[in-house]
Amino acid sequence: MAYDPNNIFARILRGEIPCKKIHEDDHALAFHDINPQAKVHALVIPKGAYVSFDDFSAKASDAELADYTRAVGQVARQLGADQDGYRLLSNCGVNANQDVPHLHIHIFGGRRLGRMIDKPSA
Ligand code: 5GP
C-alpha cells in the first residue's frame, strides 16, 4: 500500500479537516474516531508519512518511535481505558481492511470487546 499524501489523516495533520483532539506532541496526534465502535474509540497517528506499522518501525527515528509509543499509552490513561481494559488495533494492508493509508492505532475501551478476530470462513 503506497502512502497517499492526500489521505484523510494527512489532511487532519495539515489542519485541513477538523478533529476532536485528545493529545498532541512533536511526533504524534490522537483524536476521537468519527464513527466510534465503543464508548472509547481513539485513533493515534504519527505525524510522519508512514503507511503502516511495519513501514513506521523500519523508517522512523528513535524519537518518533518513543513519542508515538508513549502517546498510545498516555491516551489510554487519559481516557480512563486503563481502568477496565482496552484493545489496541492497527489494520495494515488489504487483509486487514485498512481504509486510511496512514498508520493509526485504534484504542477501544469502555465495554467488553469480545475475543480477537473473525474466524476464517470455510
Ligand atoms: P481503518 O479501517 O483504516 O483501520 O480505520 C480508519 C478509521 O478512521 C475508521 O474507524 C474511521 O471511522 C476513521 N475515520 C475515517 N475518516 C475520519 C475522519 O475524517 N475523522 C476521524 N476522526 N476519523 C475518521
Tell me, in angstroms, the distance from the centre of ligand 1 to residue 33's CA.
6
Predicted TM-score (pTM) of the model is: 0.97
Judge whether residue 120 has pLDDT over 90.
no
Known catalytic residue: 106?
no
pLDDT digits (tens, 9 = 90+) for 2-59: 899 999 999 999 999 999 999 999 999 999 999 999 999 999 999 999 999 999 999 9
Sheet holding 86-89, edge to edge: 21-24, 28-32, 40-46, 105-109, 86-89
End-to-end Cα separation, the chain, in angstroms: 27
Does residue 56 sit in helix, strand or coil?
Answer: helix
Average pLDDT over residues 90-105: 97
| Ligand 1 near 19 CB (within 6 A) | yes
